[in-house]
């Protein structure tokens, strides 16, 4: 059992200033779990239940309050009115500030183009969902009313189809849900972030969803994928369709799919016009990313990119340089920019006050159950009204037998309060019927009036019998829902906006990017700086600029499409192309490789290997005298991986790294001054990158391998002195002839 928190005693003098406040000045220890439960949980539950997660009717409370206010204002008909007026009236239900209410209205509007089937008909500037720069005008300038489709949200709302609750100050009533006649929860996109959970529902075509719902009502085992192929967005675009992926989303309500922009190539102007983009991005985000790619040299085909959006709609124009393939460029941009983006699905919906993640089929079944309840309540409401009406008319029918008697009873009654009881006694009717008869005007006490009122009794009885049959038959309720869905499709059906393209047609071999190839000189320094300089620029340059204390350790001649392998002091290798670095000059420091290649914190490049065909070997000399010979092909990858771990053995301190194209002789020198002339052919190559290698130099205690360099013919007077037939070997000290020519360490 956890011990109970103890109260700390406080000094009496500390309590004196607030002695009149109970518990003031006391410091109370309590468990963090208790604090979270009492203080944070109510807030979290409020956000989940009353703010961020949509319900089965497809709306959050903020949407519902706004639309219901507009409905009560009579904005289903007539002309538009100022948005500020609507926002002000909505604050009677939603007291969270006018700005948030107006933002809600903007998103629901036709002008903003955020919803596939908007509920608010807008007039004025309501901004655009696909642009972060195109902001909406203030509410005092814009006007709005309800779209015709909004009538389907409020159908029979006044017939007790849904529950009503008090507003925040108990002065008005508002609906807890809308009795929507179609599955609006899936027809329009909806996103929300709560506490500890979120919701992200994509939009679907109205006809497809209604057809799937009708089929599901008729056959609960129906495969909805036959009617609903994929989501549909107001912004159009193309869904890269993967059947297994889409079926998983439809089944579980979770997953993601790719949405691609639509474009057209204008041959006369040599430009690409992008007119439809994914719903998860904006035109500005796309343009910014394309500009970034152009600056980094990854999209050299582009001459210019600009936003040409106007009243006709979205348009991003990319000007091409001559001789470039637009389709090839777009394939590249799809991979590296938001022109192709993923939509993450999380169909989290409040069902009877409980957040549940449901697939499309389960959501439709929940909606069918909800709508069946709405229809049942509507029929019950109409039935009650019809029974009440029949009851009154049956009383009126009895008066028809003797109108003169009714008049005589009323005239002969001395007190007004006795009129109703006397009518009840005189005709054998109840109080409600007698009240109805007593309220009839004198001019209506004629046979014609009464016959007109009573001729519908038989029809009413038939209707009542029919409604009672409906309430006792789920099949008949389902038929009503089916008929309503068919009517909605007939009224509001629109063709798909988002095209479906199949992933099978998109499977292409990764194309090797064409890199301009030209001779370059590569320089790598001890501190990890890199320069790529063209021969022409190098001839015109002066002394190399270096950081203080730095020096050039490697100078190589190569070409611009050469692969570079930067080995680091953390046993990793980072791969790049020489083309990834800008052409530089001798007068600049160059690129700091660790930053350019986004190496891990504290990691530094210590050696640069250069290759075009991954032939040859990497030699890793360790301080303990071991050497690992790794085939350079071990670092070649089929995928475009930029970082490889375990690039060499991390068990021993590294003394030197060396790249060789073919076997030859190297000079290995120890701190004891001993020299070993090593032929690399004596070492067996390995394909395992982090191999421990083999011992080639025996070292006395306290000594280590200090340096490695290539052997030059004629460097030693008697090279045989430093060679050995067996490995490992201790090497030899410099002879007197060689000592004068060698540099000391």
Would you name the residues annotated as active-site residues? 141
Peptide bond before residue 728 is cis, with ω within 30 degrees of 0: yes
Closest residue by Cα to residue 359 from 512, 212, 548? 212
The span from the CA of 88 to the CA of 65, in Å, is 12
Q: Are residues 360 and 345 in contact, defined by beta-carbon separation less than 8 angstroms? A: no
Q: Are residues 410 and 435 in contact, defined by beta-carbon separation less than 8 angstroms? A: no
Give buried/exposed letters for 113-138 (b at 16+ CB in 10 A, else e).
bbbbbbbbbbbbbbbbbbbeebebee
Q: Are residues 24 and 154 in contact, defined by beta-carbon separation less than 8 angstroms? A: no
Burial degree of 91 (CB within 10 A; 0-12, 13-18, 19+): middle
- Helix, strand or coil for residue 617? strand
The span from the CA of 530 to the CA of 29, in Å, is 59
**In this structure, what token pair is assigned to residue 683?**
């070492």
The span from the CA of 529 to the CA of 545, in Å, is 11
Q: Are residues 661 and 651 in contact, defined by beta-carbon separation less than 8 angstroms? A: no
Give the CA distances from residue 140 to residues 86, 109, 119, 325, in Å, rounded to whole numbers and listed in that order.
10, 16, 20, 49
Burial degree of 29 (CB within 10 A; 0-12, 13-18, 19+): exposed
| 298, HSE (Cβ side, Cα atoms, 13 Å) | 15
């Amino acid at each position: 059992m956890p011990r109970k928190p103890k109260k700390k005693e406080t000094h009496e003098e500390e309590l004196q200033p607030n002695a009149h406040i109970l518990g003031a000045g006391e410091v109370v220890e309590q468990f963090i779990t208790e604090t979270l439960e009492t203080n944070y949980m109510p807030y979290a539950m409020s956000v989940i239940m009353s703010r961020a997660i949509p319900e089965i009717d497809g709306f959050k409370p903020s949407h519902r309050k706004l639309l219901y206010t507009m409905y009560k204002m009579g904005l289903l008909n007539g002309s538009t009115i100022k948005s500020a007026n609507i926002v002000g009236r909505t604050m009677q239900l939603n007291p969270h500030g006018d700005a948030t209410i107006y933002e809600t209205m903007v998103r629901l509007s036709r002008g903003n183009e955020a919803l596939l089937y908007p509920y608010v008909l807008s007039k004025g500037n309501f901004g655009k969902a696909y642009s972060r720069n195109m902001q909406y005008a203030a509410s005092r300038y814009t006007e709005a009313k309800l779209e015709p489709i909004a009538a389907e949200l409020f159908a029979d709302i006044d017939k007790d189809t849904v529950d009503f609750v008090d507003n925040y100050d108990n002065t008005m009533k508002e609906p807890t849900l809308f009795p929507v006649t179609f599955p609006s929860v899936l027809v329009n996109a909806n996103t929300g972030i709560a506490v500890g959970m979120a919701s992200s529902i994509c939009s679907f075509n109205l006809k497809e969803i209604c057809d799937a719902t009708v089929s599901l009502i008729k056959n609960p085992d129906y495969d909805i994928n036959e009617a609903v192929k994929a989501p549909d967005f107001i912004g159009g675009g193309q869904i890269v369709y993967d059947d297994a992926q889409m079926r998983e989303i439809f089944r579980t309500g979770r997953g993601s799919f790719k949405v691609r922009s639509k474009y057209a190539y204008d041959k006369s102007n040599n430009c690409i016009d992008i007119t439809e983009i994914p719903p998860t991005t904006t035109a500005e985000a796309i343009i910014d990313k394309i500009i970034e790619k152009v600056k980094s040299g990854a999209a050299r085909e582009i001459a210019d990119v600009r936003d040409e959006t106007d009243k006709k709609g979205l348009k991003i124009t990319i000007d091409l340089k001559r001789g470039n393939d637009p389709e090839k460029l777009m394939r590249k941009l799809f991979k590296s920019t938001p022109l192709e983006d993923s939509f993450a699905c999380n169909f989290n919906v409040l069902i009877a006050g409980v957040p549940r993640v449901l697939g499309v089929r389960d959501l439709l079944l929940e909606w069918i159950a909800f709508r069946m309840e709405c229809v049942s309540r509507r029929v019950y409401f109409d039935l009650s009204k019809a029974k009440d009406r029949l009851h009154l008319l049956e009383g009126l029918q009895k008066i028809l037998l003797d109108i003169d008697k009714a008049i005589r009873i009323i005239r002969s009654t001395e007190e007004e309060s006795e009129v109703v009881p006397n009518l009840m006694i005189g005709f054998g009717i109840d109080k409600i019927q007698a009240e109805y008869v007593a309220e009839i005007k004198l001019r209506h006490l004629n046979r014609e009036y009464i016959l007109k009122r009573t001729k519908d009794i038989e029809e009413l009885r038939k209707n009542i019998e029919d409604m009672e049959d409906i309430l006792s038959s789920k099949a008949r309720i389902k038929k009503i829902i089916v008929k309503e869905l068919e009517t909605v499709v007939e009224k509001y059906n629109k063709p798909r906006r988002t095209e479906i393209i199949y992933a099978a047609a998109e499977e292409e071999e990764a194309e090797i990017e064409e890199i301009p190839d030209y001779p370059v000189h590569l320089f790598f320094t001890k501190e990890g700086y890199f320069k790529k300089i063209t021969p022409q620029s190098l001839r015109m340059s002066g002394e190399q600029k270096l950081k203080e204390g730095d020096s050039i350790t490697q100078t190589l001649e190569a070409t611009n499409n050469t692969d570079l392998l930067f080995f680091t002091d953390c046993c990793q290798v980072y791969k790049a192309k020489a083309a990834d670095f800008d052409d530089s000059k001798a007068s600049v420091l160059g690129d700091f490789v660790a930053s350019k290649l986004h190496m891990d914190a504290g990691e530094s490049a210590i050696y640069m290997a250069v290759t075009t065909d991954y032939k040859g070997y990497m030699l890793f000399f360790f301080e303990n005298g071991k050497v690992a010979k790794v085939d350079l092909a071990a670092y070649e990858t089929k995928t475009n991986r930029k970082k490889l771990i375990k690039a060499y053995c991390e068990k021993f301190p590294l003394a030197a790294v060396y790249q060789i194209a073919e076997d030859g002789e190297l000079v290995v020198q120890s701190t004891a001054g001993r020299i070993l002339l090593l032929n690399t052919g004596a070492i067996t190559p390995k394909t395992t990158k982090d191999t421990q290698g083999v011992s080639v130099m025996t070292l006395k205690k306290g000594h280590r391998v200090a340096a490695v360099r290539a052997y030059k013919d004629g460097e030693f007077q008697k090279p045989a002195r430093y060679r050995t037939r067996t490995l490992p070997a201790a090497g030899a000290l410099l002879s007197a002839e060689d000592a004068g020519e060698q540099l000391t360490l």
